[in-house]
């Protein structure tokens, strides 16, 4: 790692070499930069630096790991007039993101029986796992899709899922302008038809726990977050709908002959101003709005679970914030419009809540953004995997992961043993290390640390 | 000793089967040539097969024999047939008595025929090695000679998703082996594969993704997309492709 130049605490420059158009920028701890596993994703950071119209740096967050085209934990901004847009810079799960809500009361006041009842009921209410959709509801119609495109999460509120105030506490108010469902294939619509309000599979989850530590009391008080208070964290995205849109775009770009000479075909791109680039953005925005609706509806079902089991008034479960961590957005910096790709990275505008899920055993974090322009006001999105799914399964073969988690004070439910074994805490990096690097680099500041107790895995 | 040539069979077997004298999973195989009672057999006479890669296929129907139940294997058999002919010639067996009906016997009589009809499942199967087996009591078959084949696919380390090395002599074989790799993890994929013949790696990936889309729409699918990320690497005997799958 001798070519990395430390320019600031936890901030390293990757020199511009060869045909890179800009240098790279790595946000990482001292320990992380010496990890040999970092070299493969760093090569992807160098690849991203070749994107036409890229501005500033090709950026890597401390939770960086290998992805398709862009690394996960990668950020890159391109000039909106002359630059390109890349589906690899958004990811397959368009607008995968996280939302944090606070429920009234202290977690420690919930008896073990009530905790289990709450967990079970929410598990029943929210389909999770492979292909699980809401079969008891009507499937989305074409007219519904059009409204999702034009209204974003507001559509779900109008359907009775949640409250107007929720919209005010979502990134870009739960809406990305420019969506056009006419540019979305029937395959995508078919996949998404029954999947709104569902968690999905893989590392998606709903978790309930308590505020364990307060680092920044003034902000915690301002946001209405108290020590020991019950929190709800939701991680999900655009489900099969978004995946299909990404896949359709990649197929279209490949058929158009784009990306022939790229070191990684998944870095394929189109000029933003071209019809292909414009069509991708509009389809991506459609998926983004679908995902905002998805998380809005999941929160509704969580509120329902709290109401049935704990008699909590639904309005008293307050949304703190909803963030995207797989998206491309047009943002203004010093009078210039840029297309900011955040792939496994979160927007961190000044004073904006930044949500960083860790793993189901240790912790997640709520931070406050500092609006640092060097990363285009971006921060990390999570802990990042440390261990492959194959290794995780091998580690837990013949052992009882559910029993182990219970011994750690965490009750887990999922539709398959495999999901739990693949998602055990030791499969992930320590989120504390990641957020400490982010804080040292001046991207966001820690507000509270959250401890999970009840987890539903996808 | 009673001996025969067979391919070791590995599959994501169901946990239970209907009644019958079941063959232990470690003994399941597809017979190539039955030699019968052969004391003093000279192992040096066995010709090495010309193929280096193992085989994949899938079970497509139930076979009910007089004394046994088996699942028929659907897969290209021309290479195996040629090798079988070589073995028949060397060991002086009549070809017409050894028509290759590739199947894996699962149980012997007495068995519940109707139960087996209901229990049939379309599953992928992998043949990773050729053995000369010896028959033992209690339906146990143990190798006395083994020729291991290079795996046609194997799962490899990948931090965020799942990945396989998929191998084949040509694109067609790579495509089939990729399909079976996915089917080992999710057998229901077998109902959604197309029979097209992609001419390029990009077309192959697009085809797999179309199958994933269909499966996800119909029943839900643990795979989300097959990545365009990696290239194929050629060596003397076969081509290898790293298939990375978002989950």
Q: What is the pLDDT of residues A404-429, one digit of tens each?
A: 999 999 999 998 888 888 889 988 88
- What average pLDDT does the structure give for chain B? 92
Give exposure, B8-17, as e/b (b: 16+ Cβ within 10 Å): bbbbeeeeeb
Q: How far is A362 from chain B (nearest CA, A)?
A: 19
Percent of chain A topping pLDDT 90: 81
Q: What pairs with residue A412 in β-bridges?
A: A455
Percent of chain B topping pLDDT 70: 99
Taking contacts as CB-CB distances below 8 angstroms, the residues of chain A near B161 are 389
Q: What would the pLDDT profile of B59-114 be if each residue is shown by its tens digit? A: 999 999 999 999 999 998 889 999 999 999 998 887 766 678 899 999 999 999 99
Taking contacts as CB-CB distances below 8 angstroms, the residues of chain B near A43 are none
Taking contacts as CB-CB distances below 8 angstroms, the residues of chain B near A244 are 213
- Cα first-last separation, chain A: 37
Q: Please state the rounded mean pLDDT for residues B20-32.
A: 95
Q: How far is A443 from chain B (nearest CA, A)?
A: 25
Token look-up 């790279």 returns: A24
Q: How far is B211 from chain A (nearest CA, A)?
A: 11
Contact indicator for A129, A201 with CB cutoff of 8 Å? yes
* pLDDT at position B157: 84
| Residue of chain A minimizing CA distance to B220 | A131
E strands present in chain B: 2-8, 21-22, 29-37, 55-64, 68-74, 103-108, 124-127, 129-136, 140-148, 153-156, 162-168, 225-226, 232-234, 239-246
User: Among B160, B217, B220, whose Cβ lies nearest the Cβ of A385?
Assistant: B160
Interface of A with B (CB under 8 A): 37, 65-69, 72, 92-93, 129-133, 187, 190-191, 193, 201-202, 240, 243-244, 246-247, 250-251, 254, 264-266, 268, 385-391
Taking contacts as CB-CB distances below 8 angstroms, the residues of chain A near B227 are 68, 266
B191 close contact with A: CB closer than 8 A: no
* pLDDT at position B96: 65
* pLDDT at position A102: 98
User: Could you give the residue numbers annotated as active site of A?
Assistant: 381
Output A74 or B224, whichever has higher pLDDT: A74
B246 close contact with A: CB closer than 8 A: yes
User: Among A65, A69, A265, whose Cβ lies nearest the Cβ of B160?
Assistant: A65
At A245 the three-state DSSP class reads helix
- Distance between CA atoms of A89 and A70, rounded to whole angstroms? 5
Backbone dihedral angles phi then psi of residue B231, each to the nearest 5 degrees? -105, 180
Provide the pLDDT confidence category of residue B46 given band limits of 50, 70 and 90. Answer: very high
- Return the closest-CA partner of residue B105 out of B135, B82, B77: B135
- Taking each helix axis from N to C end, the angle separating A275-310 and A142-151, rounded to the nearest 10 degrees, works out to 100
- Distance between CA atoms of A199 and A132, rounded to whole angstroms? 8
Q: How far is A132 from chain B (nearest CA, A)?
A: 7
* pLDDT at position B138: 87
* Overall size of chain A counted in residues: 458
Contact A201 B209 (CB under 8 A): no
- Return the closest-CA partner of residue B189 out of A132, A93, A397, A131: A131
Binned average pLDDT, 10 residues per bin, chain A of 458 residues: 86 95 96 88 94 97 90 97 96 97 98 97 87 76 96 97 97 97 95 92 92 98 98 96 94 88 85 98 98 98 98 98 98 97 98 95 95 98 86 87 92 88 88 96 98 94
Regarding an ipTM greater than 0.90, the answer is no
Contact indicator for A421, A392 with CB cutoff of 8 Å? yes
B209 close contact with A: CB closer than 8 A: yes
Q: How far is A446 from chain B (nearest CA, A)?
A: 26
- Distance between CA atoms of A366 and A344, rounded to whole angstroms? 16
pTM: 0.91
User: Among A65, A240, A264, whose Cβ lies nearest the Cβ of B229?
Assistant: A264
| Residue of chain B minimizing CA distance to A192 | B217
Q: What would the pLDDT profile of B122-175 be if each residue is shown by its tens digit? A: 999 999 999 999 999 889 999 999 999 999 999 998 877 889 999 999 999 999
């Amino acid at each position: 790692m001798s070519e990395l130049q430390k320019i600031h605490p936890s901030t390293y420059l990757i020199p511009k070499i060869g045909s890179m158009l800009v240098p790279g920028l790595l946000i990482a701890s001292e320990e992380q930069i010496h990890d040999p596993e970092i070299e493969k994703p760093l090569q992807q950071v160098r690849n991203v630096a070749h994107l036409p119209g890229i501005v500033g740096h090709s950026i890597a967050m401390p939770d960086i790991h290998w992805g398709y085209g862009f690394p996960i934990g990668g950020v890159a901004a391109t000039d909106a007039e002359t630059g390109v847009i890349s589906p690899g810079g958004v990811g397959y799960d368009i607008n995968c993101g996280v939302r944090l809500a606070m429920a009234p009361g202290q977690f420690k006041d919930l008896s073990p029986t009530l905790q289990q009842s709450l967990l079970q009921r929410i598990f029943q209410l929210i389909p999770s796992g492979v292909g699980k959709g809401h079969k008891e509801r009507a499937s989305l119609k074409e007219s519904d899709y059009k409204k999702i495109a034009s209204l974003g999460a507001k559509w779900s509120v109008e359907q009775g899922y949640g409250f107007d105030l929720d919209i005010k506490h979502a990134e870009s108010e739960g809406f990305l302008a420019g969506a056009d469902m006419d540019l979305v294939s029937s395959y995508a619509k078919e996949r998404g038809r029954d999947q709104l309000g569902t968690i999905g599979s893989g590392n998606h989850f709903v978790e309930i726990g308590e505020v364990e530590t307060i680092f920044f009391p003034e902000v915690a008080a301002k946001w209405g977050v108290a020590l020991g208070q019950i929190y709800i964290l939701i991680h999900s995205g655009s489900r099969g709908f978004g995946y299909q849109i990404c896949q359709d775009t990649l197929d279209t770009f490949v058929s158009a002959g784009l990306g022939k000479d790229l070191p990684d075909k998944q870095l394929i791109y189109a000029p933003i101003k071209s019809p292909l680039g414009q069509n991708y953005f509009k389809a991506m925005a459609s998926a983004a709005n679908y995902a905002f609706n998805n998380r809005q509806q999941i929160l509704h079902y969580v509120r329902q679970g709290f109401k049935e089991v704990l008699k909590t008034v639904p309005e008293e479960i307050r949304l703190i914030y909803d963030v995207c961590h797989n998206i491309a957005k047009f943002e203004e910096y010093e009078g210039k419009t840029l297309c900011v790709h955040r792939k496994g990275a979160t927007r961190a505008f000044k004073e904006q809540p930044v949500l960083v899920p860790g793993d189901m055993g240790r912790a997640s974090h709520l931070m406050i953004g500092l609006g640092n322009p060097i990363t285009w006001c971006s921060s990390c999105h999570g802990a990042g995997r440390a261990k492959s799914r194959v290794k995780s399964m091998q580690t837990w073969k013949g052992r009882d992961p559910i029993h182990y988690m219970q011994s750690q004070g965490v009750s887990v439910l999922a539709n398959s043993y495999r999901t739990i074994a693949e998602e055990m805490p030791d499969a992930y990096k320590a989120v504390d290390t990641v957020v400490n690097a982010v804080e040292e680099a001046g991207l966001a500041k820690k507000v509270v640390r959250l401890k999970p107790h009840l987890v539903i895995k996808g | 000793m009673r001996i025969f040539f067979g391919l070791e069979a590995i599959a994501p077997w169901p946990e239970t089967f209907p009644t019958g004298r079941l063959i232990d999973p470690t003994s399941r195989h597809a017979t190539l040539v039955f030699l019968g009672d052969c004391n003093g057999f000279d192992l040096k006479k066995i010709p090495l097969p010309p193929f280096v890669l193992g085989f994949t296929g899938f079970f497509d129907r139930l076979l009910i024999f007089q004394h046994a139940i088996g699942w028929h294997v659907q897969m290209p058999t021309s290479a195996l047939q040629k090798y079988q002919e070589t073995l028949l010639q060397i060991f002086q067996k009549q070809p017409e008595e050894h028509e290759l009906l590739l199947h894996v016997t699962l149980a012997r009589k007495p068995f519940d025929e109707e139960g087996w009809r209901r229990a049939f499942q379309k599953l992928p199967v992998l043949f990773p090695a050729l053995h000369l087996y010896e028959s033992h009591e209690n339906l146990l078959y143990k190798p006395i000679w083994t020729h291991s084949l290079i795996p046609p696919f194997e799962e490899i380390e990948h931090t965020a998703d799942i990945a396989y090395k998929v191998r084949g002599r040509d694109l067609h074989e790579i495509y089939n082996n990729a399909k079976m790799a996915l089917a080992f993890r999710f057998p229901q994929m077998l109902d959604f594969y197309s029979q097209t013949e992609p001419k390029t790696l990009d077309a192959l990936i697009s085809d797999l993704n179309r199958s994933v889309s269909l499966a996800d729409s119909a029943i839900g699918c643990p795979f989300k997309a097959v990545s365009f990320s990696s290239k194929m690497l050629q060596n003397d005997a076969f081509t290898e492709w790293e298939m990375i799958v978002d989950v």
